[in-house]
Structures are given as structure tokens and as C-alpha cells.
Amino acid sequence: MDTLGALLLFGVFAVCVLAVLLTGADAYRGLTQRNQEAGNRRSCVQYIATKVRQSDSLGAVSVENFGGVDALVLGEGEYITRIYCYDGSLMELFADAALPMEPEDGEKVIALDWLEMSLQDDLLTIEVLDIDGQVSTLLLSLRSGEEAAA
């Protein structure tokens, strides 16, 4: 009878430990997935912000129509970089400004549903809809080398 009681107590303990482990694993999986989705959203917006900050000089940042889509144009002179959304992806195209290029010529960067951009009075507004249906907005004030000149 003592052995049966000990085995029954051990069985209850084992079931409790298994239930706690399964609950913890499910919670961990949910947190990891949510963290990854938030990271993907931030990656797209931060990628664009970094590119703009690297190219922020007088007249080097503009928004134009590129093959029927809005494109962020970075740089001036012989070579420019275009960042735009095409065929479900954020695309980047670095090329000679004089060459005739099409949106499909760019490199895929991140999966993206749509991208909307506008530039007014040195305020760049970018709205991004990621593949999870989340909208992120980025507002950047272009400094155009103010700190370097000051």
C-alpha cells in the first residue's frame, strides 16, 4: 500500500511538471512569434531611416514616380539609389542615373505589401503596410547637413 501511494504521488507530480512545461513552451512560442513580427516591422522602417540618414545632404533626397510606383531617390549626380515597393517586396536599386531602369531591376530587401511616401518642406513621411497587415509610419525631418555646417 505504501508503494502504491508513492507511485500515485510520483504520477501526480509528473503530470503537473508536464503541464507546466507545455504551458511554458506555448507561452514562449507566442512571445517569440510576436517579437519576430515586431522586429520585421521595425526592420523595414529602420532600414529606410538609415538609408535616408546616410544620404541626407542638400538636394540628395527626393520622392518621384518610378515605373508607376513611388520611389525614394537618394543621392545626386552620376549614381542614385531608389527605394520602392514592387511586387510584394521593398526594393532597392543602385544605378547610374542616366540608365533607363525599370522597377523589376531592383533587389528585394524585405517582404512588404505597400509603401507610401511624401516629402514636403523637408519632412519625409513614409507609411508601410507589412505582410502581417500592420501599418507603420515614419516621419523624418531632413537636416541636409545642418550639423556639419554649424
Asked whether the beta carbons of 115 and 126 are under 8 A apart, the reply is: yes
* CA–CA gap between residue 63 and residue 65 (Å, rounded): 7
Asked whether the beta carbons of 105 and 86 are under 8 A apart, the reply is: no
Q: What is the pTM of this model?
A: 0.71
* CA–CA gap between residue 126 and residue 118 (Å, rounded): 7
Cell reading at 72: 525614394
Q: What is the pLDDT along the chain (150 residues), one digit of tens a residue?
A: 788 889 999 999 999 999 999 999 999 999 988 887 777 667 888 899 999 988 878 878 989 999 899 999 998 888 999 999 999 899 999 999 888 999 999 999 988 888 999 998 889 999 998 877 888 888 988 876 555 443
Q: Looking at residue 145, what is its pLDDT?
A: 52
Alpha carbon of 91 to those of 3, 22, 29, 86, 144: distances in Å?
69, 41, 31, 7, 24
